[in-house]
């Protein structure tokens, strides 16, 4: 090839003075002589040319050109079959050899654009670059065999074997062997072997060595980084960012961000591989570290945790409760701005040092690193255990309540028994001896228990008053000693007083029979409406 160029140059220089007819220059057996402003060097170069402003250098370069103008063909068989197209530049053995009507093409390299027939505005640079593209236009292929078997329009293929067999439109493939099997459109592959096995996947953006290497039919993916999305085959609408970031082969709408990050479920987002994520934090100390308290979610404020027994071991009872809870000291506080705590908001919480004395298992530590790399260790606090401490405290208090309730029920039963005894008029002393009826007073007066007792409508109080008594009255009091009724009694002998429940409020009352200013004993009655 180099020898041919040197010989052509010598011919060119040597023949400037040999033949020059009206600005025409031609040299070689069968070289064309027609057409204005031409320069033909080589056997049969421009042999049948009638076009203007053509330069054909090389054996049979532009041999079949007739009316095509403004062409430059340099090399063995360069532009051999060009007939009427113009504005082409073909440099190299058989470059643009089969172009017949395509115009404004630039093919540089052995067999570059060799199969182009009617394609326009193509640029192919490199051995076999754009070799088979016959009708595609506005393509760029740079590199050995770049776009060699490609067909389509507006593709950019740069690199050894880049876009080798592309059969689509508007693809960008930069890097050795990028997207070499792609049959679709609107892909951007940049990096060695990026999109190497892609066939039917469209509208993908794969950046980095072997990014999306195994992709075959997956579309609308964006992979950035060495080996990112390497295993994806059919997955769609995925985003993988970082060295070897990726996921399972057939995911949909999955995102993995960070070196070696891996996502295994569709419609999921994974940040990092065992990474700590900071929002507003330059050196996060936790897997998720926020610089403010402004995180929120709808509905319940608590988070769901995995709690299946099949996932747990070393299970034992947690017994801390009321006594420990009483030792916790809640406080109001504000952060002082240290360790990234830049907020003026006032909070309710605890002091970690105090909690370490009460429940040390709730206190841990973290290391804060400032922008200069200085590290300081601080205490943190996990309130999760306090929830279950409260549960135990409630249980303890409920046990106390149940015990007191049992005592109250026992006392209520005793009171009921006493009231029944009182109501029946058969009051018995604690010794169990009977006193079925009140013995007459020294004046011969008796007062019986009202019946029924615990009445809701009416009750009757029976009594006996001797004839010798001049004045008699039954007074009724509350248990607090407040008189609520007074009933003079005119009858003597056996008699009774009928009372209506409507005259009293619900409760226990005391009634007393007073004769000639002397009390003859009191009894209780209960109103229960």
pLDDT in tens, 280-298: 888 888 888 888 877 877 7
Same domain, 450 and 523: yes
State the pLDDT at residue 14: 47
With H, G, I as helix, E, B as strand and everything else as coil, classify residue 289. strand
- In the listed set 355, 386, 417, which residue is the last one of a domain according to the structure? 386
State the pLDDT at residue 222: 98
pLDDT in tens, 428-449: 433 333 333 455 666 789 999 9
| Structural domain includes residue 433 | no
| Structural domain includes residue 302 | no
| Structural domain includes residue 340 | yes
With H, G, I as helix, E, B as strand and everything else as coil, classify residue 90. strand
Q: Which two tokens stand for residue 381?
A: 């606090």
The residue length of the chain stands at 529
Q: Which domain holds residue 371?
A: 318-386
Give the DSSP letter string of 324-391.
HHTT---EEEE--SGGG-----EEEE--HHHHHHH-GGGEEEEEEE-TT--EEEEEEE-THHHHHHHH
Q: What is the CATH number of the domain that holds 461?
A: 2.60.40.1930
With H, G, I as helix, E, B as strand and everything else as coil, classify residue 163. coil
- In the listed set 369, 386, 403, which residue is the last one of a domain according to the structure? 386
Q: Is there a contact between 37 and 56 (Cβ–Cβ < 8 Å)?
A: no
What pTM does this model have?
0.67
Q: Is there a contact between 229 and 245 (Cβ–Cβ < 8 Å)?
A: yes
| Structural domain includes residue 99 | no
The vertex-176 CA angle with 170 and 177, nearest 5°, equals 70
Q: Domains in the chain: how many in total?
A: 2
- What 8-state DSSP symbol labels residue 137? -
Residue 211, number of CB atoms within 10 A of its CB = 34
Q: Is there a contact between 47 and 29 (Cβ–Cβ < 8 Å)?
A: no
| Structural domain includes residue 345 | yes
- In the listed set 339, 366, 386, which residue is the last one of a domain according to the structure? 386
Give all strands (DSSP E) within 109-216, no chain letters. 123-125, 140-142, 156-158, 172-174, 188-190, 205-207
| Structural domain includes residue 270 | no
| Structural domain includes residue 375 | yes
Give all strands (DSSP E) within 19-142, no chain letters. 25-27, 39-41, 55-57, 72-74, 89-91, 106-108, 123-125, 140-142
With H, G, I as helix, E, B as strand and everything else as coil, classify residue 156. strand
State the pLDDT at residue 20: 44
State the pLDDT at residue 434: 37
| Structural domain includes residue 13 | no
The 3-state secondary structure of 13-42 reads: HHHCCCCCECCEEEECCCCCCCCCCCEEEC
State the pLDDT at residue 433: 35
Phi-psi region of 232 (alpha: psi -120 to 50; beta: other; left: phi over 0): beta
Q: 280: which residues sit within 8 A by CB, 6+ positions away? A: 290, 291, 292, 340
Q: Which residues of the chain have pLDDT under 50?
A: 1, 4-5, 7-22, 426-437
């Amino acid at each position: 090839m180099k020898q041919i160029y040197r010989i052509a140059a010598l011919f060119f220089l040597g023949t400037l003075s040999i033949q020059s007819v009206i600005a025409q220059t031609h040299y070689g057996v069968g070289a064309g002589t027609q057409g204005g402003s031409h320069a033909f060097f080589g056997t049969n170069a421009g042999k049948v040319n009638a076009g203007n402003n053509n330069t054909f250098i090389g054996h049979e370069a532009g041999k079949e050109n007739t009316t095509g103008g403004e062409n430059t063909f340099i090399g063995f068989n360069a532009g051999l079959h060009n007939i009427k197209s113009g504005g082409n530049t073909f440099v190299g053995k058989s470059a643009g050899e089969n172009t017949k009507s395509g115009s404004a093409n630039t093919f540089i390299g052995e067999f570059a654009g060799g199969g182009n027939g009617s394609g326009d505005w193509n640029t192919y640079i490199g051995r076999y670059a754009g070799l088979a593209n016959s009708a595609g236009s506005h393509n760029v292929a740079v590199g050995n065999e770049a776009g060699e078997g490609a067909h389509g329009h507006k593709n950019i293929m740069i690199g050894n074997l880049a876009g080798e067999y592309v059969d689509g439109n508007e693809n960008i493939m930069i890097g050795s062997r990028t997207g070499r099997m792609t049959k679709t459109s609107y892909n951007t592959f940049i990096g060695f072997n990026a999109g190497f096995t892609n066939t039917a996947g469209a509208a993908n953006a794969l950046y980095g060595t072997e990014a999306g290497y195994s992709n075959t039919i997956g579309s609308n993916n964006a992979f950035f980084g060495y080996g990112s999305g390497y295993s994806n085959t059919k997955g769609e609408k995925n985003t993988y960012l970082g060295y070897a970031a990726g996921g399972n082969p057939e995911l949909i709408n999955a995102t993995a961000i960070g070196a070696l990050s891996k996502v295994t479920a569709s419609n999921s987002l994974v940040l990092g591989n065992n990474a700590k994520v900071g929002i507003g934090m330059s050196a996060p100390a936790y897997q998720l570290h926020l610089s403010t308290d402004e995180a929120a979610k709808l509905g319940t404020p608590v988070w769901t945790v995995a709690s299946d027994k099949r996932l747990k071991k070393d299970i034992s009872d947690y017994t801390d409760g009321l006594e420990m809870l009483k030792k916790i000291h809640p406080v109001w506080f504000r952060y002082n701005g240290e360790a990234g705590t830049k907020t003026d908001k006032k909070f309710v919480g605890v002091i970690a040092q105090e909690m370490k004395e009460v429940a040390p298992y709730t206190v841990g530590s973290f290391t804060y690193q400032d922008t200069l790399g200085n590290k300081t260790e601080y205490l943190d606090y996990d309130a999760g255990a306090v929830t279950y401490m409260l549960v135990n405290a409630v249980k303890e208090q409920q046990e106390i309540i149940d015990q007191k309730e049992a005592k109250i029920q026992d006392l209520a039963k005793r009171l009921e028994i006493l009231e029944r005894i009182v109501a029946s008029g058969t009051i018995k002393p604690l010794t169990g001896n009977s006193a079925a009826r009140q013995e007459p007073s020294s004046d011969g007066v008796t007062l019986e228990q009202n019946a029924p007792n615990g009445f809701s409508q009416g009750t009757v109080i029976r009594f006996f008053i001797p004839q010798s008594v001049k004045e008699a009255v039954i007074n009724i009091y509350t248990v607090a000693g407040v008189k609520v009724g007074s009933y003079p009694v005119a009858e003597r002998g056996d008699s009774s007083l009928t009372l209506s429940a409507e005259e009293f409020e619900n409760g226990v009352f005391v009634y007393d029979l007073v004769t000639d200013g002397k009390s003859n004993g009191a009894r209780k009655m209960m109103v229960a409406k």
